[in-house]
Amino acid sequence: MENTIADFIDFIEQSPSSYHAAEVVASRLQDAGFARVDETAQWPSTPGGYVMVRGGAVMAWVVPENFTGEFKIVGSHTDSPGFMVKPNPDFRNAGWSQLAVEVYGGPILHTWFDRELKLAGQAVLKDGSRRLVDTGALVRIPNLAIHLHREKNFDPDRQVHVQPIIGLDADDVSFAEILAEKLEVDAEEISAFNLITVDSQRGEVFGAGHKFLAAGRMDNLSSVWASMQALISTAEDYSGEDVLVLSAFDHEEVGSASRYGAAGPILEDVLTRTAAALGKNEEERRQIYARSSCISVDAAHSVHPNYAVKHDPTHHPLIGQG
């Protein structure tokens, strides 16, 4: 159990953004014998395990020796709430150098203040190549001193009060230069970036009996990791008749309607091309869809001990019990 928990914490640490999570899942599956699929190449049809990455999403599937069943699909998501760095991030204010950010998803705003944050995601260079980014602790959203804020409620303005500091105005260093240094390229080579704030604190086991695990991005890397582990374990000696599918989508926190999201085409692309590669015509494919199943695996909230009245009085999701 200790090894399992340590591995899960490592997985979270290695996955600061959806792009990282997709690549980590793909790498681990490849180590387990899965073949990496290129969407621009011929789709595979031989029995075995396959994995494909599109942006911050990862799809993996196992083709049986004799496919006469259905698609058994497990869905999760790789993204988590935070603050996205805007395309023109640099601005100066009262002697500070700051980054312009936009709220992504539904973060609990006050929990992000006074933490050392890193930026993670991807950068695209002018040659079209993609580079993963993990800056390490780099920025901080500073709280207001208590003697300047006597109001009872803390209600920060999403456009004004959550802009992180990154340096001093006197340093006169642009974010492009800082990012270029992290990537070991010239600033002029960076064409675009997609970066989100990440708590730099590593996950930790705590509590009586060491039964609790605290870490950022548990929603929903906990489900991504569990789905990946289940697929690896099942694929080792799989003799069933169904195609097993892991689908870890991006952009769930903002509606999923993207090329990488659950409301987009990525899962349909994988299922359609897999069925066609296995010789199924459209009618047969629709029959397969009709008998297939998909389980949405996401994080849920147990009853909060200090706010039990916020929950349904007769239906309590209890910690560790469902």
Query: What's the whole-model pTM score?
Result: 0.96
The DSSP-derived string for 203-256 is PEEESGGG-EEE-TTHHHHHHHHHHHHHHHHHHTT---SSEEEEEEES-GGGTS
In angstroms, the Cα distances linking 291 to 6, 185, 286, 288, 310 are 38, 51, 9, 5, 39
Q: Across residues 82-99, what is the average pLDDT? A: 96
222 and 196 in one domain? no
179 and 222 in one domain? no
Does some domain include residue 211? no
Does some domain include residue 304? no
- Which of 202, 236, 263 terminates a domain? The answer is 202
**CATH code of residue 95:** 2.30.250.10
Task: Determine the Cα–Cα distance for residues 13 and 175; give it in Å rounded to an integer.
Answer: 24
Does some domain include residue 108? yes
168 and 112 in one domain? yes
Q: Across residues 297-313, what is the average pLDDT? A: 91
- In angstroms, the first-to-last Cα distance of the chain is 21
162 and 63 in one domain? no
181 and 231 in one domain? no
Q: Tokens at residue 25, please?
A: 């899942």
86 and 156 in one domain? yes
69 and 94 in one domain? no
Q: Is the bond preceding residue 220 a cis peptide, omega within 30 degrees? A: yes
**CATH code of residue 63:** 3.40.630.10
pLDDT digits (tens, 9 = 90+) for 238-271: 999 999 999 999 999 999 999 999 999 999 999 9
How confident is the prediction for the chain on average, in pLDDT?
95
Would you say residue 154 has pLDDT above 80?
A: no
149 and 47 in one domain? no
Task: Determine the Cα–Cα distance for residues 145 and 104; give it in Å rounded to an integer.
Answer: 26
- Which of 173, 202, 231 terminates a domain? The answer is 202
Does some domain include residue 192? yes
186 and 144 in one domain? yes
Cα four-point dihedral sign 41, 51, 244, 237? positive
In which domain, by residue range, is 283 found? 2-79+217-296
168 in Cβ contact with 97 (< 8 Å): yes
250 and 239 in one domain? yes
Does some domain include residue 53? yes
User: Total domain count for the chain?
Assistant: 2
Residue the block writes with tokens 């697929």: 231
171 and 144 in one domain? yes
- Which of 202, 232, 259 terminates a domain? The answer is 202
161 and 98 in one domain? yes
Q: Return the pLDDT at 152.
A: 73
Q: Across residues 273-301, what is the average pLDDT? A: 96
Would you say residue 150 has pLDDT above 90?
A: no
Does some domain include residue 315? no
H/E stretch holding 21: helix 18-31
Q: Across residues 285-296, what is the average pLDDT? A: 97
Does some domain include residue 244? yes
Does some domain include residue 175? yes
